[in-house]
Amino acid sequence: MKIAIVGATGVIGQRIAAEALRRGHQVTAVARDPGKVTGTDAQFTAVQGDALDAESMAGAVRGADAVVSAVGPGHTGAQPDSMVLDHARALIAGAKAAGVRRVLAVGGAGSLEVAPGVQLVDTPEFPAAWKGIALAHRDVLELWRGPEAAELEWTYASPAALIEPGERTGTFRTGNDTLLTDAQGNSRISAEDFAVAVVDELEQQRHVRSRFTVAY
């Protein structure tokens, strides 16, 4: 499979690229400055692309079988709350223009439910410093669910409440719109195992036009 990854230099994007290469897929890293992207695998290339520009996205992902968006605020220099929505719009328009139907967007955990009708971002314990970006990611999910992305075979992937570099175990649980927690009430996943789940989804297509989440 030819996979274009927007945000392939970030913590999550790097690991998705590595997991895809591990399985023999061709990976194209889309970056503002492809000269800063390093990789020695013969199946790995880098191209220039502006994550906030639809025409640039179309040119960068054209010819791919699937596109993964792992873009975070640090990749664009834009205000984080507005950037994630602007990027989603550019990606949707760019993918449609390029004729790429399969798109997987890495989102946030804030819009996962912790009780019927209650999302994590709306709980009193949710950190105030993260609320703006969490609400923006929630808006992005609604954009994917709306008519603008209706012709795309999209998937929205929400990690656990805590995601950080760690071990690749290949053992985790998946769910849909509810926050997954362990017996102690913790919700966590390593970036490595989240990458496994993302590439699993690209290969197996179990959550087309829906959201899934991953946690231990």
CA distance linking residue 59 with residue 47, whole number of Å:
9
- Report helix angle 80-98 to 128-145, nearest 10: 20
Residue 37: band (very low, low, confident or very high) from pLDDT cuts 50, 70, 90: confident
Q: What is the mean pLDDT of residues 194-201?
A: 98
Over residues 198-206, the mean pLDDT reads 98
Domain holding 130: CATH number? Answer: 3.40.50.720
pLDDT reported for residue 60: 97
Query: At 95, is the pLDDT very low, low, confident or very high (cuts 50, 70, 90)?
Result: very high
**Residue 132 CB-half CA count within 13 A:** 7
pLDDT at 97 > cutoff 60: yes
- Give the pLDDT confidence of 115-151 residue by residue, as tens digits: 999 999 999 999 998 999 999 999 999 999 999 999 9
- 25 is in which domain, residue-wise? 2-215
43: three-class secondary structure by DSSP: coil
> What are the phi and psi torsion angles at 160 (to 5°)?
-65, 175
User: Whole-model pTM?
Assistant: 0.94
d(CA 4, CA 2): 7
Q: Alpha-carbon Rg of the chain, whole angstroms?
A: 16
Q: Judge whether 156 and 107 are in contact, CB under 8 Å.
A: yes
Question: Mean of the per-residue pLDDT values for the chain?
Answer: 94
pLDDT reported for residue 42: 87
Give the model's pLDDT for residue 76. Answer: 42
Which tens digits make up the pLDDT trace of 49-83? 999 999 999 999 999 999 999 997 644 444 567 89
Number of domains in the chain: 1
**What is the percent of the chain where pLDDT is above 70?**
96
Instruction: Please tell me the predicted confidence (pLDDT) of residue 79.
Output: 58
